[in-house]
Amino acid sequence: MISSEFEKAPCALCGGIEFAELFKTRDYLYGVPGEFSISRCKSCSLVSLNPRIPEEHIASLYPDNYEPYSMSFSQEMLSKLVAGQDGRRMLLERHAHKGFALDVGSGDGRFLLCLKQAGWRVAGCELSEKSAAFQRDSLGLDVKAGSLLSSRFDSEIFDAITFWSVFEHLYDPLETLAEAKRVLKPGGVIAMSMPNFDSLERMFFRSKWFCLHPPFHIYHYSPKIMKTIVAEMGMSIEKVYYSTTATSLINSMKAALGRSSIMLSEAYHVDPSETHDAVSDKTISKATKRLVFNSLIVPSLKTLDLLRLGAYTNYVIRKT
């Protein structure tokens, strides 16, 4: 990556142009070349990738095997992927009235299918045209190709809008959140998941933290800054769920050890036990791995979540 391909951008939250560099990092997941700077806005403290690759060029850098776009699966695999979304569905249903839901960045359609099977009416929008076409043609879902901003849905039609592992990829998070508010019914909810920049894992691994995911994650959020952003939109955070999985921990350890990591599941699961297979060691049996994971690792990860230091956050935002 040569420096002329980068752009410096003002802070999305306050428009500030002065930043303090926290550290430099690399893409440990897909091996996009170059060194990337993670900086904190001196005015409002929002953390960003800055300088960054311009939005019009970023799409070409997503690899063909980017995990949310894995569309070559059997019916059996599809059923498993859909069932794997139950944690997110249950989280949403704890807060939202079952009605019409929009999934922003619907990927391969697995969450929309999960909701549909549970009796929701669903729609999606997805930047990848190929993926949007797959969801329409192969899965029979109502999915537009494009961003939430370009999709121009009617006002106040959705009971729930979800952004699973999407918000941190956005170049225009505040405009997108404002648009979500416009198309959401009064009393509706927005649910989103994203890495937690104030997590113990991020503080420990610093530049080797797997969830930095440059150059694709543009802004890095914490519950504190999200509270400011949501208040700026005239909405409020109803609940923050913390969630730590083994996936990012193991991938960060690999990065720290200098090993490239191609564990493609971002695994922003509500239940950490879903990712037990992420513990990979051919020398021990699967049963032993599961025993070790369930007795030692899961309780440790759940403790982090109770202390609000978990690696991922799931926010429920209500439009009043």
Report in angstroms how near the CB of residue 179 gets to Zn ion at its nearest.
21
10 binds Zn ion (CB under 5 A): no
154 close to 94: Cβ distance less than 8 angstroms = no
Binding test (CB under 5 A) with Zn ion, winner from 41, 180, 279, 311? 41
Which range touches Zn ion (CB under 5 A), out of 10-18, 56-64, 83-91, 274-282?
10-18
Q: Please give the full DSSP string across 52-83, using - where no structure is assigned.
A: B--HHHHGGGS-TT-GGG-----HHHHHHHHH
Binding piece for Zn ion, criterion CB under 5 A, among 41-49, 97-105, 133-141, 157-165: 41-49
Q: Which of 22, 44, 233, 240 binds Zn ion (CB under 5 A)?
A: 44
Q: Which is nearer to Zn ion, 46 or 112 (CB)?
A: 46
User: For residues 52 and 144, which CB has a smaller minimum distance to Zn ion in the complex?
Assistant: 52
Contact segment (CB under 5 A) with Zn ion among 46-54, 87-95, 192-200, 219-227 equals 46-54
User: Is residue 9 within the footprint of Zn ion (CB under 5 A)?
Assistant: no
> Closest approach of Cβ 150 to Zn ion, in Å?
25
Nearest-angstrom CA–CA distance, 131 and 68: 9
The region of 17-25, 44-52, 81-89, 243-251 touching Zn ion under the rule CB under 5 A is 44-52
Considering the complex, what minimum distance in angstroms separates the CB of residue 315 from Zn ion? 19
For helices 223-232 and 173-183, angle between their N-to-C axes, nearest 10 degrees = 60
Name the amino acid, one letter, at 133: A
Distance, in Å, from the CA atom of 19 to the CA atom of 222, rounded to the nearest integer, reads 17
At 118, is the secondary structure helix, strand, or coil?
A: coil
Q: Which one of 7-15, 179-187, 271-279, 300-308 is the stretch in contact with Zn ion (CB under 5 A)?
A: 7-15
Cβ burial of 142 (10 Å; 0-12, 13-18, 19+) is middle
Tell me if 16 contacts Zn ion by CB under 5 A: yes
* Shortest CB 176 distance to Zn ion, Å: 17
For residue 14, state whether it binds Zn ion (rule: CB under 5 A). Answer: yes
Binning the chain into helix, strand and coil, the percentages to the nearest 5 are 40, 20, 40
Residue 268 CA: distances (Å) to CA of 85, 164, 194, 243, 274: 10, 8, 8, 8, 10
- 229/238 Cα distance (integer angstroms): 14
Binding site for Zn ion (CB under 5 A): 11, 13-14, 16, 41, 43-44, 46
